[in-house]
Amino acid sequence: MKLDILAFSVHPDDIELGCSGTLLVEKSQGKKIGIIDLTRGELGTRGTAETRDKEAAAAAKILELDVRENLAFADGFFKNDEVHQRKVIAAIRKYRPEIVLCNAPEDRHPDHGRSAQLVEDAGFLSGLRKIETFDNNGKAQEPWRPKYIFNYIQDRYLPPDFVIDISAVIDKKVESIKAYATQFYNPALNEPETYISSPDFLDSVLYRSKMLGKMIGVKHAEGFISKKTVGLHNFNSLIVQNT
């Protein structure tokens, strides 16, 4: 299956927090969308790898994904090396996305920045013909390089290069986040408190989307960072704000 957009997250729930609204918007436009989680989030204080698997599957249904996979890298200990790059290259070549989304380039959690660089490096290497990778049937894969790789913004505020209006899908974005019942505020669970399990944390996600939305005159938005210059066909692609 060829995808239009392939989003990578180092932990299940990164996508839901960072760019699920954008995926929902693109899906509503008929795009084929997929997520690849690099780890199962097994080092998380709350829940288990097994519960995270189930929660990721529930969120995938809410987001109406065409595909969701997990590469089962070691949470906290994966490296940006040849072994891991080849696995990401194989995933990119498998789905041949036009656009790749990945974690923030630097953030509170060290896995985020490391995974972002891993995906960026693999995205470039995926276009080199002399790097050989094989599918699950042992067939050689064709090279493929996505047209763009964008980083979504996570816990730390990083100035976005562009933002996307997600006002129409904000409720569904929140629903996809809440699919991770073990990770976020849930008084019914007897789990240790963490940075993201307080009742105020989900409020902060909405505050961020409102702040980014205000920048372009809409109710909610998500921001992205791009090392590559983003081009427009014409000015009709711009959101016109009231002056």
Band of the pLDDT at 61, cuts 50, 70, 90?
A: very high
pLDDT computed for residue 75 by the predictor: 97
User: What percent of the residues of the chain are helix, what percent strand, and what percent coil, each to the nearest 5?
Assistant: 35, 15, 45
Write down the CATH superfamily of domain 5-226: LmbE-like (3.40.50.10320)
Q: Determine what percent of the chain is predicted with pLDDT higher than 90.
A: 92
| Residues 241 and 42 sit within 8 Å (Cβ to Cβ) | no
In this structure, the strands spanning 221-226 and 33-39 are unpaired
Band of the pLDDT at 212, cuts 50, 70, 90?
A: very high
In angstroms, the CA 39 to CA 48 distance is 12
In angstroms, the CA 223 to CA 195 distance is 22
The mean per-residue pLDDT over the stretch 144-165 comes to 97
pLDDT computed for residue 243 by the predictor: 53
Band of the pLDDT at 147, cuts 50, 70, 90?
A: very high
pLDDT computed for residue 132 by the predictor: 97
In angstroms, the CA 243 to CA 229 distance is 26
Band of the pLDDT at 19, cuts 50, 70, 90?
A: very high
The mean per-residue pLDDT over the stretch 27-40 comes to 98
Where do the structural domains in the chain lie, given as residue ranges? 5-226
Smallest CA-to-CA distance from 49 within 19, 81, 13 is with: 13
| Residues 142 and 93 sit within 8 Å (Cβ to Cβ) | yes
pLDDT computed for residue 242 by the predictor: 63
Compute the Cα dihedral for 112, 61, 94, 164 and give only its sign: negative
The mean per-residue pLDDT over the stretch 4-31 comes to 98
Cβ count near 228 (within 10 Å): 10
Smallest CA-to-CA distance from 168 within 224, 241, 218, 239 is with: 218
Q: pLDDT of 167-202, one tens digit each?
A: 999 999 999 999 999 999 888 898 999 999 998 999
